A and B are shown apart, each in its own frame.
Chain A
Amino acid sequence: MQPSNANKLKPHKLLNYFESLLSNSLDEVFIRRIISAVYFSLFNYWSIKNICKGNKGKGNNNDSFPHTQFIQDLASSGLDPQIYLLYVYRVAVDHYTLNPTKVTLTSHPYKGRTQNVKIDENILRKILESAKDVLSFLDNY
């Protein structure tokens, strides 16, 4: 196996590119896919940082990490608003179809806890801003 290099999965260029697309009247398909890509590019970067630190994930190459751990790592450092926003909207864009909609955050029998979401350029701007905060943390992780 090749030695791991976190630079290969640095999402800085991708996030800058997405930022450059703002104010271009993006349609909802673009916004949904960008939000999902932002979330998982941060997750991939966090995963490879873990490998570089010698932490082991699952799988034959120990390179599969749970995203629960990703969220808890960020929450532990005080990035609660950023990771909450990223998580809720990532769930909304990948698992829900209507817009606006309500994302259910708990499963049966604890139904009832929901979060209103509206997928538009305003939220994309906020998500990119939050992603930059997360990136600053991950650069020094």
Chain B
Amino acid sequence: MIDKKEALEILKTYTDKDCVNRISNFIDLRGLASIVLWLTNTFPINISSISVTEDVESSQPLFVEIRINNCDWEEWKYLAKYTKDTLNREGLGDIAGKVVLVCNQAMQIS
């Protein structure tokens, strides 16, 4: 497992300090950074940003969004399933539920 300093360095590539602080109240930063590292080492993907989505009614954090560029709906489905199956297999089911992969282009449905 990477240490906290490394985790912060990785996450700051994709988000700002305020958001990292917000994320740290919701999810283990080292776990999140490990997922980011694993994603970029496993798939030919480009992560554009990381942010927290909050419940519109309660303002409580719902999940951490990892935004990915250049993938379509089917690729998104495959990526999400493969990633979450891997996390669950590794005993990281809790973090799997708190992270949502979002493909920017696939959400531009017309």
User: Is chain B found bound to chain A in the same assembly?
Assistant: yes
Task: Enumerate chain B residues within 8 angstroms of A123, measured Cβ to Cβ.
Answer: 109
Chain B proximity of A108: nearest CB distance (Å): 9
Would A84 and B51 count as touching, CB distance under 8 A?
no
Chain A residues with Cβ under 8 A from B32's Cβ? none
Residues of B within 8 A of A75 (CB): 63, 84, 96-100
* CB neighbours of A21 from chain B (8 A): none
A residues in contact with B103, CB < 8 Å: 81
Q: Which of A40-48, A54-62, A112-120 contacts B (4 or more CB under 8 A)?
A: A112-120
Query: Which residues of chain A are within 8 angstroms of B62 by Cβ–Cβ distance?
Result: 68, 71-72, 87
Q: Check A23 for interface membership: any CB of B closer than 8 A.
A: no
CA A125 – CA B69 in complex, angstroms?
24
Instruction: Decide if B102 is an interface residue (CB 8 Å cutoff).
Output: yes
Q: Please provide the chain B residues from 49 to 78 with a CB less than 8 Å away from any CB of chain A in the complex.
A: 51-56, 58-60, 62-63, 65, 73, 76-77
B residues less than 8 Å from A107 (CB atoms): 54, 59
Find out whether the CB atom of A106 lies under 8 angstroms from the CB atom of B54: yes
Set of chain B residues within 8 Å of A105, measured between Cβ atoms: 51, 53-54, 65
Complex: chain B residue closest to A71, CB-CB: B62
Q: Nearest Cβ distance between residue A121 and chain B, in whole angstroms? A: 11
Q: Which of B55, B65, B88 contacts A113 (CB 8 A)?
A: B65
Is A9 located at the chain interface by the 8 A CB criterion? no
Q: Nearest chain B CB to A135's CB is how many angstroms away?
A: 15
* CB contact between B52 and one of A72, A87, A110, A126 (< 8 Å): that residue: A110
B100 adjacent to A106 (CB under 8 Å): no
Interfacial residues, chain A to chain B (CB-CB below 8 A): 67-68, 71-73, 75-85, 87-88, 91, 95, 105-107, 109-110, 113, 115-116, 118, 122-123, 126
